[in-house]
Chain A
Amino acid sequence: MNKVVSDADEATRDIEDGMTLMLGGFGMCGIPEKSILALVKKGVKNLTCISNNAGVDEFGIGLLLHKHQVKKMISSYVGENAEFERQLLTGELDVELIPQGTLATRCMAAGYGMPAIFTRAGIGTEVAEGKEIRNFNGKDYLMELAFDADFAIVKAWKGDRLGNLVYRSTARNFNPVMAMAGKITIAEVEELVEPGELDPDNIHTPGIYVHRIFKGENYEKRIEQRTVRKRDI
């Protein structure tokens, strides 16, 4: 078994106009930056993107927005992106804002083979409009459906050619649950290793969920808010 493809272009070769994509990452942290660049180059349009954030103006999903490749964003927080706000206010872009935990758990449900989840998040707010409410033990819960995505695209630290993945620090975020949720899952990694090099006890995403894997070169890993403290002298 060999899931290795040569690069982002090959990994994304059959992503077509109008498809629904999940893209891992939180802010700029742990985003599949090489695959996003390949999608920009490829020029696919009318995409529905499920991702916690929408990138910044010049990086991440922001690059797809600039080229008007995105029809709809499903996200929890889309600040820090002027082009996004402009397209939203002019109606060029359709946006569904959903609670962050609901977003993560709708991915998880897809990866666990469950059609829906029930959550308190959004009860009594506009998020609940038009959704089924069920009462359990005296409390109301919203029914939220598992996502149905054509592709999930994730970024990991290390992976092997069987698709086993390990993430690094908080760059893990949405990547494992999205990896589980795609009909086809593409993983881009900083280090591609041979089977056996990753400790089976420390695999974050088992390879069964991953269909294609490639090594990305020269990750930019942009920092959105560089905050530091001074050393005591």
Chain B
Amino acid sequence: MLDKTGIAKRIAKEIKDGYYVNLGIGIPTLVANYIPDDVDVILQSENGLLGMGPFPFEGEEDADTINAGKQTITKLPGSAVFDSAMSFGMIRAKKVNLTILGAMEVSENGDIANWKIPGKMVKGMGGAMDLVASADNIIVAMQHINKAGESKLLPKCTLPLTGINCVKKIVTELAVLDVLPGGGFKLLERAPGISVEEIIKATAGKLIIEGDIPEMVI
């Protein structure tokens, strides 16, 4: 089974040289730490920055320089700052190659729910709805089952949706899965030490298993 770092490391392998990438809050943010040195990517932060760098050194924090999670960050050489309308313009126009975000639920047809729990959580969707509605390449980083022990990979989402038919790939502590265009979670890889049976048990939606499923290499 993977921990959060393991999920981030596995997702980092999906990032190709030359990509512009938007990383959501949580596990997706960790992905930045594991992008190989020979893979040249530019991180987009939807509050208006291309070329997001690591956290500043202590004492060098700048209140005017934050990421979309409102954390103090740095700007790398070659970075560019722009306003919020342009930021979502480049997202809508599919200039951002890959979006990685967390989810509460994903359905077998690629619907995603990650912004609201009625009666409990009313924080808002931020930029998530714009991102999932526009990006061609969306990877979800999440736990396979929730705290109550229920599968988060469902036939149909039960929570209010963030977007429909949009998730392409899911990486969890148990597995890597593709969401097929015609519907269904296709099992691609098992986490180290995890059996196919365990993944079947943890997946409520339609699971497609073809041939031997390799253990993932991180």
Q: How many residues of A contact B (CB 8 A)?
A: 57
Quick one: given A124-B111, A170-B45, A225-B72, are A76 and B83 in contact (CB under 8 Å)? no
Residue of B nearest to A109 (CB): B85
Q: Does B75 contact A (CB under 8 A)?
A: yes
Residue of A nearest to B45 (CB): A170
Q: Does B49 contact A (CB under 8 A)?
A: yes
Query: Within 8 Å CB of A172, what residues of B?
Result: 48, 81-83
A226 touches B164 (CB 8 A): no
B133 touches A174 (CB 8 A): no
CB distance from B126 to the nearest CB of A (A): 4
A121 touches B84 (CB 8 A): no
A104 touches B133 (CB 8 A): no
CA gap between A123 and B112 in the complex, in Å: 12
Q: Does A43 contact B (CB under 8 A)?
A: no
B70 touches A104 (CB 8 A): no
Q: Does B130 contact A (CB under 8 A)?
A: yes
CB distance from A231 to the nearest CB of B (A): 5
A227 touches B88 (CB 8 A): no
Query: Within 8 Å CB of A28, what residues of B?
Result: 63, 70
Q: Does A29 contact B (CB under 8 A)?
A: yes
A101 touches B127 (CB 8 A): yes
Q: Does A32 contact B (CB under 8 A)?
A: no
Q: Does A177 contact B (CB under 8 A)?
A: yes
A76 touches B70 (CB 8 A): no
A127 touches B129 (CB 8 A): yes
Partner among B61, B134, B165 whose Cβ is within 8 Å of the Cβ of A223: B61
CB distance from B26 to the nearest CB of A (A): 13
Query: Within 8 Å CB of B37, what residues of A?
Result: none
CA gap between A147 and B163 in the complex, in Å: 24
Q: Does A10 contact B (CB under 8 A)?
A: no
Query: Within 8 Å CB of A171, what residues of B?
Result: 63-64
Partner among B59, B69, B122, B125 whose Cβ is within 8 Å of the Cβ of A85: B122
How many A-B Cβ pairs are below 8 Å? 180
Residue of A nearest to B127 (CB): A100
Of A124, A157, A177, most buried by chain B (CB within 10 Å of CB) is: A124
Quick one: given A170-B66, A221-B64, are A102 and B72 in contact (CB under 8 Å)? no
CB distance from B138 to the nearest CB of A (A): 13
Quick one: given A104-B88, A170-B49, A177-B83, are A99 and B130 in contact (CB under 8 Å)? yes
Quick one: given A26-B47, A26-B84, A78-B124, are A101 and B92 in contact (CB under 8 Å)? yes
A54-112 interface with B by 8 A CB criterion: 75-79, 85, 88-89, 95, 97, 99-105, 107-108
Q: Does A119 contact B (CB under 8 A)?
A: yes
Sort chain B's interface into a size bin.
35 or more
CA gap between A224 and B66 in the complex, in Å: 9
Q: Does A13 contact B (CB under 8 A)?
A: no
Query: Within 8 Å CB of B46, what residues of A?
Result: 100-101
Quick one: given A76-B124, A172-B82, A177-B83, are A125 and B48 in contact (CB under 8 Å)? no
Q: Does A195 contact B (CB under 8 A)?
A: no
Query: Within 8 Å CB of B63, what residues of A?
Result: 28-29, 171, 221-223
A121 touches B48 (CB 8 A): no
Partner among A85, A95, A168, A175 whose Cβ is within 8 Å of the Cβ of B83: A175
CB distance from A155 to the nearest CB of B (A): 10
CA gap between A121 and B67 in the complex, in Å: 21
Partner among B57, B84, B124 whose Cβ is within 8 Å of the Cβ of A228: B57
Query: Within 8 Å CB of B69, what residues of A?
Result: 225
A99 touches B129 (CB 8 A): yes
Q: Mark A210-233, 1 if CB is under 8 A from B, else 0.
A: 000000000001111111111100
CA gap between A14 and B61 in the complex, in Å: 37
Partner among B62, B66, B88, B161 whose Cβ is within 8 Å of the Cβ of A124: B161
* 8 A–B contacts, CB within 8 A, in A order: A26-B47, A88-B122, A99-B126, A101-B85, A101-B88, A102-B130, A125-B164, A228-B58
**Chain B residues within 8 Å of A, Cβ to Cβ:** 45-49, 54-73, 75, 81-85, 87-89, 91-92, 111, 122-130, 133-134, 160-165
Q: Give 10 nearest A-B pairs by CB, closest first.
A: A101-B88, A101-B130, A124-B164, A79-B123, A104-B84, A120-B133, A221-B63, A99-B129, A27-B70, A100-B127
